[in-house]
A and B are shown apart, each in its own frame.
Chain A
Amino acid sequence: MSIDKDTARKVAHLARIRVEEDDLPALADEFNTILALIEDMNEVNVDGVEPMTSVTPQRLKRREDVVTEGDQADRILSNAPDAREGFFAVPKVVE
């Protein structure tokens, strides 16, 4: 599997990272170098092997579905680049 410029552009968009058109060929090359490493895995026979979900067999713990640390909007917003009237502010989403 080889990644071309169009695939690199698509992946960059999916990852929401802007990559200039001129930089796409170099990015595609880097992807291909890394994929060549990854594809060594294809030699392994994985028939009947369960994919690992957790290194220690465990059931994720559950807790009561209750508010534990609420009412701290100010602290939550304290690092926001733009916060107004108790909300995160972003550019207009819906016209």
Chain B
Amino acid sequence: MAYLNKMKIAEARDALKKGDVTSVELTEACLSAIDAAGALNAFVHKTPEIAMERAKAADARLKSGDAPAMCGIPVGIKDLFCTKGVESQAASGILEHFKPEYESTVSQNLADAGAVMLGKLNMDEFAMGSSNETSVYGNAVNPWRRGNEDTALTPGGSSGGSASAVAADLCLAATGTDTGGSIRQPAAFTGITGIKPTYGRCSRWGIIAFASSLDQAGPMTKDVRDAAIMLEAMCSHDPKDSTSADIAVPDFEAMLTGDIKGKVIGIPREYRMDGMPDEIEKLWADGTAMLKDAGARIIDISLPHTKYALPAYYVIAPAEASSNLARYDGVRYGHRAKLESGEGIVDMYEKTRAEGFGAEVKRRIMVGTYVLSAGFYDAYYNRARKVRTLIKRDFDEAFEQGVDAILTPTTPSAAFGLGEMADADPVQMYLNDVFTVTVNLAGLPGISVPAGLDSKGLPLGLQLIGRPWEEGDLLNTAYALEQAAGFVSKPEKWW
């Protein structure tokens, strides 16, 4: 069978169960697609031996009849996840050659469900970026192009490799992580679906930490049904992550009825930003109309502290990063700088970190160090935490009014060209996250669904934000939106 790599999880699952296809065949199709897609620079560590071994085991398990939904499904794993015996570098030079002795809980859950790991995926260094341009492996490239132009576009970030790989059918799905929008923004830029679940749904154990109070893993898939299937396999309560929620994981797929009659959808007026492109405005209005046509009740809501989300985020995330990344000191793992005679341990730390980290990571560590330093802690860090309380309160109040989900654009623009932001100051790049960071600050589930194309033929996404722990209901609303939007476009193959 040709084009097995183009299958969705649900299709492949059904075909595997019926015996129409084997996991080995699916896996081989993906491995060939990966080998032919070097130009996308999505897979940065390939693991074909592990993949074939797991595919064979999955086929045996399928034959025995005891096979969960993800059994035999070939997936890519973001480089942020520690995978036993396989390079796990967070796309950083400071973790060069690092091969963990352990497996992250999320990737272990997927392996236990029989999923097949194809390799590790490109990303922004330590997940800090919105364009995959801060990676030590070089840029990942978006399979989409503007019409007939050959300008290389960003797949977004930080889960840029995951987005590019799924959009280009190099794998059936991929893991991502999202600290300020790193699943949803790249999903929007590449015409795929990505969900960040409620904080605490997925264990953070073994995921290289960026900002621990914001980080969450989630699936990046070809449609909403696949997101439901894969999310369920990724979630679990994990005693090794003290913030992991000890609550049952529902059958998300079973909740996809497409019926949203009587659901209340909030449209937050503060997300209507000055200078927002007309195409984004229109997409948002179209999405609103689609949900209304599907029987939902649309109400205008106010989330008054929205404009302070980005400032609060750029205190809290760097502060946590400066603490988390203190461990990269050249002692226990990764890069250690060569020392001149007479240089001591502080020189070792300073040179190791100067050589190992890229510019954006250094910038954020130092901003974090500054906002946590004596004399500034209250003015910056504590104030940011108070603003965070207010941002969450905005959402709580909307939900108390009876809102079931909130609809917004995912990003303020379509994918931009790699290098186009090179001369912009760092804050210009941070604006990419303006619609997504609020969700991380409030710990809520958020999903991006592809909903249309811009005038240059690039995909655009809409974001739905749900109540905490109600991913099933959120996925169902997303499913209704997906059905109404009918987005089926794929990038034309040039790579």
Contacts and interface: CB of A to CB of B under 8 A. Distances in A.
B101 interface: yes
Given A17-B362, A79-B334, A92-B345, 13 more contacts: A7-B370, A14-B369, A27-B363, A27-B366, A30-B425, A39-B311, A41-B311, A50-B386, A52-B392, A54-B243, A55-B199, A55-B200, A93-B344
A41 B334 CA distance: 37
A16 interface: yes
Contacts, number: 168
B357 A93 contact: no
Nearest to B242: A60
B334 A30 contact: no
Among B99, B339, B344, the most chain A Cβ lie within 10 Å of the Cβ of: B344
11 contacts: A15-B368, A16-B353, A17-B350, A34-B367, A34-B426, A40-B308, A43-B308, A46-B383, A55-B200, A79-B100, A80-B333
Interface size class of B (residues with CB under 8 A): 35 or more
Interface in A13-43: 13-19, 27, 30-31, 33-34, 36-43
Given A80-B332, A81-B335, A53 B365 contact: no
Contacts of A27: 363, 366
A15 B366 contact: yes
B331 interface: yes
B82 to A, nearest CB: 11
Interface string B317-336: 00000100010011111111
Nearest to A50: B389
A29 to B, nearest CB: 9
Nearest to A93: B345
A41 to B, nearest CB: 5
A56 interface: yes
B389 A49 contact: yes
Contacts of B243: 54, 56, 58, 60
B390 A16 contact: no
Nearest to B198: A56
B351 A91 contact: no
B427 A34 contact: yes
Interface string B349-381: 111011001000011011111110100100110
B487 interface: no
B443 A56 contact: yes
B345 A38 contact: no
Contact of B370 (A11, A19, A53, A88): A11
Given A16-B329, A54-B213, A37 B310 contact: yes
Contacts of A53: 385
B333 A31 contact: no
Given A17-B354, A37-B427, A52 B389 contact: yes
A90 B345 contact: yes
